[in-house]
Each structure stands twice: as structure tokens, then as C-alpha cells.
Copies of this chain bind each other. A is one copy, B any other.
Amino acid sequence: MRVDDRKPNELREIHIEKDYIKHPEGSVLISVGDTKVICSASIEERVPPFLRGQGKGWIAAEYAMLPRATEQRNIRESSKGKVAGRTMEIQRLIGRALRTVVDLEALGERTVWIDCDVIQADGGTRTASITGAFVALSIAIEKGLARKQLKKNPLTDFLAATSVGIDSKGEAILDLCYKEDSSAQVDMNIVMTGSGEFVELQGTGEEATFNMNQLNDMLSLGKEGIEQLIVKQADVIGEFASKIKGG
């Protein structure tokens, strides 16, 4: 049994609250257990310099934590004057993952800014961010189509993410909370599409290593979890979900 009495293949409780804040084109508050992230999607009518004039759009992601999202208060990155390596890694991951399910030509010369702000952290903030950001993005896209800002649906598939790991007894487990994450031997983040294809796979064993069998166990737990997450996403997205492959 796990620290919070879940079975090895059991996700934490998931809630996705739509339109959590009023200004962004799309926004949600996603809760995965005690991890809570405000995800918003903002459509901007221009692209970064490297894309100008190519008829293509861009998905740019930023990630941050409130100072007291964690048990110990963290110093703000704005006060330190620089963004931590971990933050950069995460926001690069979120942007890259979402771009895989967006047809950037169909988006046109626009940037969708994805902001993931963790207000409470209990493990799995980057995967919750991706899962929530996909919903915020699809709300923004739906709105853009409705108001004719977009001509064509650029979403090519569903996308969600979760973590898997090998616990201290060598067993594979799904969706690690902070306590499990701290004592796990191996931690792996999986991002998958609604069609069940891998988008990102990042497995790390800082104090341990893992073999092929353990890898396979983790991958099948991950697949199972992501399928359930996509059902939740589709539910929140509502009717528009039927316009996205894998939904």
C-alpha cells in the first residue's frame, strides 16, 4: 500500500475547473491531489522574431511557483533576478509537448502563451501543468474559432502527462505525490497523445539505475494513467472534444 493508500496503478483525485480567471482566452485550475496549478492560454497576434513571415504560429510556455506553494518558502525568481534551471527545463518541456499536437500552420502567425502557475505543490507539478494546459489551450482555440480569429482547428490530438516511478521497494507506481517522489529510486515523466503515442519520456535515476523490465512496468502504468486523464479532459472540454482526434 502507498503512503496515501492508493493502489500502484491508481491516480490521485483530479479536478479541472474551467474559466478559473476571467482575462485569458482559456484558463483552468487543475488539482491533482494536493497539487494545484492555474493554467492559462493567451492568444497574441504575433510570433517570435525567428518565425516572422513564415505563416506559422508558436506555442510558448512559462511555469512558475508561488513562493509558498511548497512546504518551505522559496525565494521568488524575480527577486533573484534569474530563472532557475529547473524552471527553464519545465517550461521548455511544456511548450515542446503542446507543440506536438498543434498544427502550427493552421494556427497562423499567432503565439499562444501558456502560463502554468503552481499555487500549491505536492509532486507532479510539471505533468499536472501539461494536462491542465492542454485544456486551457483547447478552450482558447474553441473561442478563437467561434470569434473567427482562427479559421481552422489547429489541434491534432489530445495530450496529457503523468509521472511514474520505482519506489523504494523496487515496485513501479503511478502518479507520485511529493513524499513518494522524495523516496523513489527512479522518477519518469511521460507525455502521451490521445492516440497512445509517446511525445516525451524523461526517466532519471539520480541515486539508482533501472533495467528494461522496470522500464516496461513504468511505461504500461503511465499509459493506463494517461488514458484516464484524457477522459477527464474531454469531459471538461465538453462538446468541442469531439473535434479533437483521440477525444
Further pairs besides A81-B81, A85-B88, A96-B206: 4, Cβ < 8 Å: A67-B113, A78-B80, A100-B208, A195-B209
Q: Which residues of B contact A212 (CB under 8 A)?
A: 198, 219
Q: Which residues of B contact A207 (CB under 8 A)?
A: 99-100
Contact in complex: B73, A83 (CB < 8 Å) = no
DSSP majority for the A interface?
mixed
Contact in complex: B203, A198 (CB < 8 Å) = yes
Contact in complex: A206, B100 (CB < 8 Å) = yes
How many copies of this kind of chain does the complex include? 6
Q: Which residues of B contact A120 (CB under 8 A)?
A: 21-23
Q: Which residues of B contact A210 (CB under 8 A)?
A: 197-198
* Cα distance, A199 to B91, chains bound together (Å): 23
* Cα distance, A120 to B99, chains bound together (Å): 27
A171 beta carbon closer than 8 Å to chain B: no
Residues of A73-117 contacting chain B, CB below 8 A: 73, 76-83, 85-89, 91-92, 96, 99-100, 113, 115, 117
| Other-chain residue from B23, B38, B81, B204 in contact with A200 (beta carbon distance below 8 A) | B204
Please give me the residue from chain B that is nearest to A70 by CB atom. B23
Between-chain CB contacts (< 8 Å), 8 pairs? A23-B70, A38-B66, A83-B85, A85-B88, A88-B88, A119-B119, A201-B201, A201-B202
Binding site for B on A (CB under 8 A): 21-24, 27, 34, 36, 38, 40, 42, 44, 62, 64, 66-71, 73, 76-83, 85-89, 91-92, 96, 99-100, 113, 115, 117, 119-120, 188, 193, 195-212, 215, 219
Q: Which residues of B contact A113 (CB under 8 A)?
A: 67-68, 73
Whole-angstrom distance between the Cβ of A117 and the nearest chain B Cβ: 5
